[in-house]
Amino acid sequence: MNLTLKIWRQKNREAKGAMESYPVKDVSPDMSFLEMLDILNEQLQSAKQEPVAFDHDCREGICGMCSLVINGLPHGPDAATTTCQLHRRKFKEGDVITIEPWRAQPFPVIRDLVTDRSAFDRIQARGGFVSIGTGHAPDANAIPIPKFHADLSMDAAQCIGCGACVAACKNASAMLFVGAKVAQYAHLPQGQPERNRRVLAMMDQHDKEGFGACTNYQECEAACPKEISVRVIAEMNRDFLKATLLGTEL
């Protein structure tokens, strides 16, 4: 399979970036998208050219590091799939594939396709934890939690913090991410003591980082590789309103 890759190249945060085209030849349709980029980088290094910088780690769809916008879609055209799990067979012979980094002011480009997503870390640090002592891991049935709530908590906890929701949103909103991190504790007894303070603190940091507001566009849900539902945003909004009316202090 022969393809042409149009890739965003940017030396550093201050430099002006531009798209550059690279032909790749004889790539297997069973090869993953990142393996294809590895081959391209080997070719560039052999030609004494600068390789393309891109994020990756587990390559198993777990860590969320493989943050690429492929043909205008975060993580590419395959639904519920991270870039590292996307394969060449999703494209046709002779295709021109455009590859860009996440496009959002709170995610500045570090180099080429690598963006700084530490804004998510700062949001998580504001409230994505429980401070009460929980001791060692309890037996499965020691704390009775209705399966309905346990399932909702686990669904929200699947969020890997990749930032696809931000890249897909026309407002660069991170409310799907924040909603997931709030909801995963809201359905568990361990998350109740600081439930009100958590949602206020995390939303406060969300706004300070410069993420936009949610206008129910729902592209975040469509782009999420873990299929997190926008239901978590509704839950977060309810908790935020309740905490505000109660006059909860940060």
For 161: left if phi > 0, alpha if psi spans -120 to 50, otherwise beta; the answer is left
Kindly list the structural domains of the chain, giving each domain's residue range(s) and its CATH number in brackets, ordered by start. 3-111 (3.10.20.30), 118-245 (1.10.1060.10)
Its pTM stands at 0.94
Q: Which residues of 24-56 are buried (b: 16+ CB within 10 A; e: fewer)?
A: beebeeeebbbbbbbbbbeeeeeeeeeebbbbb
Q: What percent of the chain has pLDDT over 70?
A: 98
Cα separation values, 139 from 33, 136, 142, 146, Å: 41, 9, 5, 15
The tens digit of pLDDT for each residue in 168-198 reads: 999 999 999 999 999 999 999 989 999 999 9
The tens digit of pLDDT for each residue in 74-94 reads: 999 999 999 999 998 899 999
The tens digit of pLDDT for each residue in 87-119 reads: 988 999 999 999 999 999 999 999 999 999 999
